[in-house]
């Protein structure tokens, strides 16, 4: 028995060691998966619509929740052309520069040698027991929002899915800033001084309605993944800053269907979850050119002429955007905390951008509970200032509680502009100052 255990351990170590020996060819394959052609599926063509009548034909390239929505007649999806979302060349070059240095530690949440870029650009292997964890690191240190960006404004709408009734609209500003792992916006690769050794800051401010106006959320994520995030909430009506416990990030955020942990597809530590790679597949996901979609001038139209994405389908819970057939990594995460309110999330990670356009959340009994979609818009077909940034722009989200038949939708104006998010915004002092 002991001999068998040693052999098994040796094999695991060998696989892990081999898997990190990435090459520059791995980098090219990772960032440019469509350079030799795009995926196809029998019967699927650009411009067609998948609906209740033909969905069974395409079940293989849909996730289970989206298949169910279409099968039930809740929505239908139009197929767009598969396009390359090329990330900024600085991020690609940083990946190449770090190739020999990046290694997993002995336990989940430990990583060494990752200065900037994609930590593990090699293709994942089912034989690698830590492949899921490596993909999670690629997501954490991905180029989602680049080095910094803002959403100004950001509309959240709460809807009864059965009646279509709009119950409530919240208007926010969101800000994202990477203190480390920076490749494009100066300074690179890190902002100094950074005495707390933060990796990322997220700052949220509620603008409307009046009863929650000036509620603010600040999340400070450390470079050390084993350290718990600092999370602070400023309540406008109390005029004080309250520190959130770790359990509160899984509560409903301001009465929505979204947890703080749900932001962007997953907003937590690598070490909080067990990550399992389930395979690579071609799948339909919401990625598109914003300027070519159906837009909603009633919800937002500003002096620049910018309009947000329109919604339709059952309860107006589904963004009216096109879906592309793309290479996707399927990864399952389950909490190491037995008291966590969910049993697992099924993440469908876009293999080129490492964003998470589709997620399914399962309740503690193992039943499908919530469906997350976040549409990714190509930066070259969005605001003029986003062109050339290489950032896949978060553009429209929906979180559908399938059991309660309720949804929270989000409409974005995403802006890649470092002047909008100075480091001072990611401080408790800013919460107090903005509150006044």
pLDDT at 139 over 50: yes
Residue 25 pLDDT: 94
Domain boundaries, the chain: 1-436
Q: Give the tens place of pLDDT for each residue, 153-185.
A: 999 999 999 999 999 999 999 999 999 999 999
- 288/190 Cα distance (integer angstroms): 31
Q: Give the tens place of pLDDT for each residue, 348-398.
A: 999 999 999 999 999 999 999 999 999 999 999 999 999 999 999 999 999
Taking the C-alpha atoms of 396, 402, 407 and 412 in order, what is their torsion angle to the nearest 10 degrees? -10
pLDDT at 20 over 70: no
Contact 130, 138 (CB under 8 A): no
Beta bridge partners of 240: 235
Question: How large is the average pLDDT for residues 337-349?
Answer: 94
pLDDT at 7 over 50: no
> Which of 14-28, 104-118, 150-164, 334-348 is predicted least confidently?
14-28
Percent of the chain whose predicted confidence (pLDDT) is above 90? 85
pLDDT at 35 over 60: yes
> Which of 33-37, 186-190, 242-246, 255-259 is predicted least confidently?
242-246
pTM: 0.92
> Which of 14-28, 107-121, 254-268, 407-421 is predicted least confidently?
14-28
CATH superfamily of 1-436: Lipoprotein localisation LolA/LolB/LppX (2.50.20.10)
Residue 121 confidence class, pLDDT cut points 50, 70, 90: very high
pLDDT at 2 over 60: no
Residue 246 pLDDT: 65
Residue 240 pLDDT: 87
How high is the mean pLDDT of the chain? 92
Q: Of 230, 223, 233, which is closest to residue 270 (Cα–Cα)?
A: 223
């Amino acid at each position: 028995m002991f001999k068998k255990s040693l052999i098994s351990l040796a094999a695991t170590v060998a696989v892990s060691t081999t898997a990190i020996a990435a090459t520059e060819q791995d980098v090219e394959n990772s960032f440019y998966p469509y350079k030799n052609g795009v995926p196809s599926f029998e019967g699927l063509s650009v411009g067609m619509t998948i609906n209740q009548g033909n969905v069974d034909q395409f079940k293989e390239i849909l996730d289970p929740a989206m298949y169910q929505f279409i099968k039930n007649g809740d929505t239908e999806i139009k197929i767009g052309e598969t396009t390359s979302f090329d990330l900024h060349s600085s991020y690609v070059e940083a990946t190449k520069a770090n190739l020999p240095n990046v290694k997993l530690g002995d336990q989940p949440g430990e990583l060494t040698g990752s200065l900037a870029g994609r930590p593990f650009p090699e293709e994942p292997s089912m034989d690698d027991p830590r492949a899921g964890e490596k993909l999670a690191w690629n997501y954490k240190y991905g180029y989602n929002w680049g080095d910094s960006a803002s959403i100004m404004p950001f509309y959240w709408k709460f809807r009864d899915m059965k009646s279509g009734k709009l119950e409530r609209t919240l208007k926010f500003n969101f800000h994202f800033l990477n203190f480390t792992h920076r490749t494009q916006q100066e300074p690179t690769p890190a902002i100094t001084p950074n005495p707390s050794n933060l990796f990322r800051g997220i700052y949220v401010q509620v603008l409307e309605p009046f009863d929650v106006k000036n509620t603010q959320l600040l999340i400070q994520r450390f470079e050390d993944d084993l350290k718990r995030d600092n999370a602070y909430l400023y309540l406008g009506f109390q005029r004080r800053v309250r520190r959130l416990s770790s359990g509160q990030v899984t509560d409903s955020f301001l009465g929505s269907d979204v947890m703080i942990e749900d932001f962007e597809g997953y907003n937590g530590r690598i070490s909080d979850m067990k990550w399992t790679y389930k395979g690579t597949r071609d799948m339909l996901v919401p990625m598109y050119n914003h300027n070519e979609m159906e837009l909603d001038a009633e919800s937002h139209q500003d002096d620049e002429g910018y309009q947000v994405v329109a919604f339709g389908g059952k309860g107006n819970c589904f963004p009216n955007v096109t879906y592309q057939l793309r290479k996707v990594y399927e990864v399952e995460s389950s909490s190491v905390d037995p008291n966590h309110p969910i049993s697992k999330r099924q993440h469908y990670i876009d293999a080129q951008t490492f964003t998470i356009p589709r997620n399914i959340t399962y309740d503690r009994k193992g039943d499908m509970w919530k469906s997350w979609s976040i549409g990714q818009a190509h930066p070259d077909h969005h605001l003029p200032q986003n062109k050339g940034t290489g950032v896949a722009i978060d553009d429209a989200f929906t979180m559908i509680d399938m059991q309660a038949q309720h949804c929270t939708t989000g409409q974005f104006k995403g802006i890649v502009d470092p002047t909008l998010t100075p480091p001072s915004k990611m401080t408790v002092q800013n919460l107090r100052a903005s509150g006044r």
